[in-house]
Amino acid sequence: MTDRCLLAVESSCDDTSAAVLRGESELLGHIIATQDMHAEYGGVVPEVASRAQLRVIDGVVSTALAEADMTLAAIDEFAVTAGPGLIGSLLVGLNWVKGAAYARRRPLVGVHHMEAHLFATTLEDERAQPPFVALLVSGGHTLLLHVEEWGRYHLLGQTRDDAAGEAFDKVARLMGLGYPGGPAIERMARDGDATRHPFPVPMIRGDSGPDDDDYYDMSFSGLKTAVLLRVRELEESGRLEEEIPHLAAAFQQAALGQLVEKTLRAVQASGCQRVVLGGGVARNRALADGLGGRLGPKVTLFVPSPRLATDNAAMVARAARFHLDRGERADLELNARADLPMPGIVRNGASP
């Protein structure tokens, strides 16, 4: 096993993060700087996010190096998120790392952001290895995968409209709960009674089977509209404020119910005995509890700690370790792509 030291940077959205990883799982330094000014605008403003990335990137990398008690000269390999994400934000991290790798004449690799989310749990628990079913739920993506082996990802289902985290953010905004919406809704929902606003769980037909298009796919926009209509009704009758916790609980129950149901279908069809969660929505305790309660004793659920569930460079470093060990190297042509396709995605058993 290698004991090389890798420096990774993640800057795909509104967090700037750097990590120093030795070998496969020894995290020597890890810094995450979160931008809080987006709360003011109720969401991430891309231009504001990329300028903020530029302001903090030097400091974030040097603090991670200091935490690892290292200098840039001691870094053996470099990695950076190359996409998907906000192009202006991605470019800040990418150019920083490209410059450093070139100056130090060291290997460089670009990492796909969602593949990095897939690797996060292995940093905390070595048993989180393929084969497993993965549910990746973030602000930009919702993916249900059957991971046979690292680097080979069967895409079972994905959202047809909004991502899961995006739905939490939009619904929170409708209810005036601020940004980011996920944690706010989860907090509110604890005091709520979901049965007061029974929203149907989306995309669940009792008579559908694995060969049907909608068996694994997900959707959140109909649920969001249902919440919007209920918010307007309650506003008109002057009862919105008192109903907010109940609305939050009802939305959360329907949204998470869909994620749980689709994941259970994937577990059943694949016969996998491990399930791995990833992405910001994986911070939601009700999701982990709801899924854990339904999986049965033979299936182990791996949930990343909150710090490794949301965007961070440690997961980028861990995914990069895998690609570097396979001999992959990027050259100076490496560029950021807002819509970078996930490497190794396989649909219906065939490579794309």
Q: How far apart are CA 88 and CA 215, in angstroms?
A: 36
- How many residues interact with ligand KG4 (rule CB under 6 A)? 20
Nearest approach in angstroms of CB 349 to Zn ion is: 27
Which of 162, 161, 181 shows the shortest CA–CA distance to 172?
A: 181
- Sheet with strand 300-302: strands edge to edge: 300-302, 274-278, 132-137, 142-149, 152-158, 345-346
Nearest approach in angstroms of CB 168 to ligand KG4 is: 4
Nearest approach in angstroms of CB 125 to ligand KG4 is: 19
Binding region for Fe cation:
113, 117, 311
Q: Which does 165 bind (CB under 5 to 8 A by kind): Zn ion, ligand KG4, none?
A: ligand KG4
**Region 92-131 residues binding ligand KG4, contact defined as CB under 6 A:** none
| DSSP structure class, residue 323 | H
**Region 275-334 residues binding Zn ion, contact defined as CB under 5 A:** 311
Nearest approach in angstroms of CB 117 to Zn ion is: 6
Q: Are 25 and 122 in contact (CB under 8 A)?
A: yes
Nearer to Zn ion, 19 or 244 (CB): 19
Q: Among residues 11, 122, 138, 263, which is the contact residue for Zn ion, using CB under 5 A?
A: 138
Q: Which does 186 bind (CB under 5 to 8 A by kind): ligand KG4, Zn ion, none?
A: ligand KG4
| DSSP structure class, residue 192 | -
Helix (H) or strand (E) holding 69: none
The CB-based long-range contact list for 124-130 (8 Å cut-off, 24+ gap) reads: 124/304, 124/305, 124/308, 125/302, 126/25, 127/274, 127/300, 127/302, 128/274, 128/276, 128/302, 129/274
Binding region for substrate:
136-140, 169, 182, 186, 284
**Region 132-191 residues binding ligand KG4, contact defined as CB under 6 A:** 138-140, 165-166, 168-169, 180-183, 186
Quote the tokens at residue 189. Answer: 């929902």
Nearer to ligand KG4, 293 or 306 (CB): 306
Q: Which does 107 bind (CB under 5 to 8 A by kind): ligand KG4, Zn ion, none?
A: none
Which of 121, 171, 85 shows the shortest CA–CA distance to 282?
A: 121
Nearer to Zn ion, 157 or 180 (CB): 180
Quote the tokens at residue 346. Answer: 């396989």
Q: How far apart are CA 344 and CA 342, in angstroms?
A: 6
**Region 273-312 residues binding ligand KG4, contact defined as CB under 6 A:** 279-281, 283-284, 310-311
Q: Which residues bind Zn ion (CB under 5 A)?
A: 138, 311
Q: Which residues bind ligand KG4 (CB under 6 A)?
A: 13, 138-140, 165-166, 168-169, 180-183, 186, 279-281, 283-284, 310-311
